[in-house]
Amino acid sequence: MTPLQAIPEGIRCLADYEPHAREKLAPAAWDYFMAAAGDGLSARANRAAWDALQLWPRVLRPLAGLSTEIELLGRRWPTPLLAAPMALQQLAHSDAELALGLAAAVQGAGLVLSMQSSLPMEVVARAVVSESGRGPLWYQLYLLESRQATLERVRRAEAAGFEALVLTVDASVRAPHPAVQAVPADPGPAPASLPDLLARAPTWDDVAWLQGETKLPLLLKGVLNPLDARDAARLGLAGLVVSNHGGRTLDGLPPTAVALPRIADAVGDALPLLVDGGIHRGTDVLKALALGARAVLVGRPLLHALATAGAAGAAHALRLLRDELTIALAQCGLRSPAEAGRELLGHAPAAGIL
């Protein structure tokens, strides 16, 4: 790990890190991290949909004992915040996923490590798993063309101490971005070869096979359609991440703030829901909780903080988000994330999104 870096003056929210990151990152790396499919409609809609929701607070309610703790997969965790799986973080900072993982642990947030991590999963897990007060430690993967190759990754994740698997099911097959060639990846399938490895589109039979091959809880990431959510519930999966891949795979997809309540209605309490896409503020986190999410994944804003100031920047960003959530809970008359419901929300009159 490199020495801790100073936080730039004037950082008051996660969005303040973005211009600093743009200055720090190589143009190709910036383009890679900020890439969006098509005209970028899906990526912009994610942000706009959270903005279109208004909070309708309750007043004069008891707030003693307010906590950001949640229950997820049978355990209590300090916050409903997780760092989303993001590939090749060495493009952002030399300490890469190790810095983000430790930053998350220090702030009581979870880490979902990408299969396309710059560092071996064992290195990251070894540093994070023993941290007291940390959040969940999960491993994101794709179903590879070879089941044996997939199983090798699963066995490594199990041995390293990861507590759940997050299977991404919405990734299109694309040529690697030029910036991908700039850094090495975790030994195994290199980013340059992933399009070939992902050529065989997975099916529900493959998901059922994977579920039968591991004792780790299995969540799906990339579900938007309530019909797919019902299928996942029938299969007995451990959870779903409502996601449109940050708008990176296909344009014209619904924003996750629109898909989330529809999926929540479809599955009820059958399995926990998480959500990502466009979340920049603690108020966004509260809105997601009110729509039915148990927790949220945060991606690009944490990469901006990582690029700007390494582990210190990522930890600071997560602290800002946690503090904003605490204030939002209190201001809305809530003592815990579990108390958030749809009665808390209204729609901006002229937004035309929901």
Condensed to tens digits (0 to 9), the pLDDT of residues 103-153 reads 999 999 999 999 999 999 999 999 999 999 999 999 999 999 899 999 999
Q: Would you say 184 is a known binding-site residue?
A: no
- 29 found inside a domain: no
Q: Would you say 140 is a known binding-site residue?
A: yes
pLDDT at 91 over 80: yes
Rounded to an integer, the average pLDDT of 245-251 is 89
Number of domains in the chain: 1
- 251 found inside a domain: yes
Q: Would you say 86 is a known binding-site residue?
A: yes
pLDDT at 247 over 90: no
- 23 found inside a domain: no
pLDDT at 244 over 70: yes
Condensed to tens digits (0 to 9), the pLDDT of residues 53-63 reads 999 999 999 99
- 2 found inside a domain: no
Q: Would you say 85 is a known binding-site residue?
A: yes
- 236 found inside a domain: yes
Confidence of residue 187 (pLDDT cuts 50, 70, 90): very low
- 4 found inside a domain: no
Catalytic residues: 245
- 352 found inside a domain: no
Q: Would you say 58 is a known binding-site residue?
A: no
- 3 found inside a domain: no
Rounded to an integer, the average pLDDT of 205-213 is 97
Condensed to tens digits (0 to 9), the pLDDT of residues 8-46 reads 999 999 999 999 999 999 999 999 999 988 999 999 999
What are 82's strand-pairing partners? 110, 297
Q: Would you say 142 is a known binding-site residue?
A: yes
Residue numbers of the domain that contains 265: 42-337
CATH number, position 286: 3.20.20.70
**Residue 131 contacts by C-beta under 8 Å, 6 or more apart in sequence?**
102, 105, 106
Confidence of residue 1 (pLDDT cuts 50, 70, 90): confident
